[in-house]
């Protein structure tokens, strides 16, 4: 018996339309079909087969949303390009950090204050 992979991340959001705009236009995620739940929301594809589920009607504050608190991370292909893009769009983010394994990290907040890490693969020295 074992787990096989992360299936989805679910975020409780106050304004589904505002969050959909952020995740589709700023984060460039692809929106995917969502079952006909009785509450508002939206789903996005993360990578090949993992998903982001936005759940509407949040009416309590987001807590612990910071880099060392509650956050989730997306692996990115080019840190320089993403930083330039976020600057062009005037999206605030934390300055680039380098983890002890050589991976780069930056953090951005969504419209509700959920903390999202953008990171690169760890540095692997040539043998």
User: How many distinct structural domains can be found in the chain?
Assistant: 2
Domain with 108, as residue range(s), is: 61-127
Select from 10, 38, 59 the last residue of a domain. Answer: 59
Based on the fold, state whether residues 42 and 92 are members of the same structural domain: no
The CATH number linked to 68 is 3.10.180.10
CA dihedral of residues 71, 50, 35, 38 (deg, nearest 10): -10
| Cβ atoms of residues 104 and 96 within 8 Å | yes
pLDDT in tens, 21-70: 999 999 999 999 999 999 999 999 998 999 999 999 999 888 766 667 78
pLDDT tops 60 at residue 127:
no
Based on the fold, state whether residues 80 and 51 are members of the same structural domain: no
Based on the fold, state whether residues 51 and 70 are members of the same structural domain: no
| Cβ atoms of residues 62 and 110 within 8 Å | no
Based on the fold, state whether residues 77 and 104 are members of the same structural domain: yes
Based on the fold, state whether residues 88 and 48 are members of the same structural domain: no
């Amino acid at each position: 018996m074992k787990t096989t992979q992360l299936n989805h991340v679910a975020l409780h959001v106050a304004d589904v339309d505002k969050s959909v705009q952020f995740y589709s236009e700023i984060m460039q995620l692809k929106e995917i079909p969502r079952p006909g739940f009785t509450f508002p929301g939206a789903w996005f594809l993360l990578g090949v087969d993992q998903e982001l589920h936005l759940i509407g009607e949040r009416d309590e504050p987001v807590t612990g949303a910071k880099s060392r608190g509650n956050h989730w991370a997306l692996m990115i292909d080019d840190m320089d390009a993403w930083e330039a893009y976020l600057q062009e769009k005037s999206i605030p983010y934390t300055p680039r950090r380098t983890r002890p394994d050589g991976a780069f990290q930056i953090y951005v907040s969504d419209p509700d204050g959920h903390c999202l890490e953008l990171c690169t693969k760890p540095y692997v020295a040539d043998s």
